[in-house]
Chain A
Amino acid sequence: MTTVTMTVNGKTVTGEVEGRTLLSGFLREGLGLTGTHIGCDTSQCGACVVHVDGKAVKSCTMFALDAAGATVKTIEGMANADGSLSVIQQSFQDHHGLQCGFCTPGMVMSSAALLAENPKPTEAEVRHYLEGNICRCTGYHNIVKAVLAASGQDVPAVAAE
């Protein structure tokens, strides 16, 4: 076992990991942050997306030791300081951007990364950016609406592609 230290949701955390421990495993089992979901565990579905040094990454496809010293943000770190939902989270709720909620942590983290890079994306840009996040429930339209609304833009009657 090796000791790893990183900053997660603003706090410095330390834990014992093996070489093979994935960042997703460290967050969920090491830190109890089970908001990061494991869907496929093969880097296809995006349920496990977190931010590492501000960039969206699939935490099932990064080793915990590769994140040593990094600044990590998970869905648990998304709410406002007073505990209320962040704009993106609230927008997912308002626009019914989730049903079962399994994909939602990854969707929210990917959407937050998109809006940080591109604060006013077009509908096509939102769809393109969320290509690596799979949702079995919503059919995506309400997720796209939620992201457009969170960017402060009018929400069109999002058309099926």
Chain B
Amino acid sequence: MHNFDFVKPSSIADAVKALSGDGAQALSGGQTLTPTLKQRLAQPSVLVSLTGIAEMKGVCMGADGLSIGAATPHAVVAREAAKDYPGLAALAGGIGDPAVRNRGTIGGSLANNDPAACYPAGVLGSGATIVTNKRKIAADDYFQGMFTTALDEGEIITGVTFPVPQKAAYVKFNQPASRFALTGVFVAKFAGGVRVAVTGASNNGVFRWTEAEAALSANFAAAAVEGLTVSPEDMIGDLHGTPEYRAHLVKVLTKRAVAAAH
């Protein structure tokens, strides 16, 4: 690993200032960035730790829905969102293993936008709003393809606000070695309709399966998606699964998520 300076500000304003310098990069839980630094795939000159910023931590229910600070670890979301948004809490509680959940954060996961990560499905499937130091970004505009987001240089996610659906569930088919989603589906039923978000499947990262949304909005039952087909075109193919296998999983997992939604 190349060396860098390490700073740990205690406010968003100080973090943004530190990140405006040349070669500065944000560090949250470090569960993705640390391995990246070890492989020398990133060479920041300054790492700005966001985990000492109290205003970026915590889970709280408000008028707009459930707000989660960007530097909140997965384990805290699993525990503290369980009452207000159990489907999302269960997603957080299924990420990696306990030690990863004690450090990894929602903001880091969303900034990274790994095509096999869990939170992007929960955020897109809920139609959540990503709050940054500069603006609010709707989930539909935020995810822009594998490892690509709407964030500008030096912009940091400070929190995420989730409208709470009537029912929701996330079901992932684990890639057993990495514990990431080989494919995962998040289904959320709102009064105004159903949203279905798929991760781990497409070469373009997380996406909404709109045909299933229409079918499930008309009839929220696993059988409603039975007649639909998912095209393997543009699906990820690797040693863990072919594009056809992943396309098949999308439908199977959607049905399971509908059955599990509560």
A residues at B contact (CB < 8 Å): 2, 18-20, 22, 41-43, 46, 49, 52, 55-58, 60-63, 65-66, 68, 110, 113-114, 129, 131-133
Contact = CB atoms under 8 A, between A and B. Distances in A.
Contact of A110 (B3, B35, B98): B98
Contacts of A41: 38
B35 A66 contact: no
B interface, over-half SS:
mixed
Contacts of A65: 6, 8, 49
A61 B3 contact: no
A interface, over-half SS:
mixed
Contacts of A19: 3-6, 47
Interface-central residue, B3, B49, B97, by most chain A CB under 10 Å: B97
Interface of B: 1-6, 8, 27, 30-31, 34-35, 37-38, 47, 49, 51, 75, 96-100, 102-103, 179
B39 to A, nearest CB: 9
A65 B8 CA distance: 9
A18 B3 contact: yes
Interface-central residue, B98, B103, B179, by most chain A CB under 10 Å: B98
B98 A132 contact: yes
Given A41-B38, A55-B75, A63-B30, A68 B98 contact: no
A102 to B, nearest CB: 17
Given A56-B102, A63-B47, A65-B6, 5 more contacts: A62-B34, A62-B103, A65-B8, A114-B98, A133-B97
B148 to A, nearest CB: 24
Nearest to A18: B3
A57 B99 contact: yes
A70 to B, nearest CB: 11
A62 B30 contact: yes
B3 A43 contact: no
A131 B97 contact: yes
Interface-central residue, B27, B97, B99, B100, by most chain A CB under 10 Å: B99
A133 B49 CA distance: 26
Given A20-B37, A66-B49, A131-B179, A57 B103 contact: yes
Q: Which 5 pairs of residues, A with B, have the shortest CB-CB distance?
A: A132-B97, A19-B6, A55-B102, A65-B6, A131-B97
A129 B98 contact: yes
A62 B37 CA distance: 12
A68 B8 CA distance: 10
Contact of B30 (A18, A66, A114): A66
Contacts of B5: 19
A45 B34 CA distance: 15
Contacts of B37: 20
18 contacts: A19-B3, A19-B5, A20-B2, A20-B3, A42-B38, A43-B34, A43-B100, A56-B99, A57-B102, A57-B103, A58-B99, A60-B34, A61-B103, A62-B30, A66-B49, A68-B8, A131-B97, A133-B97
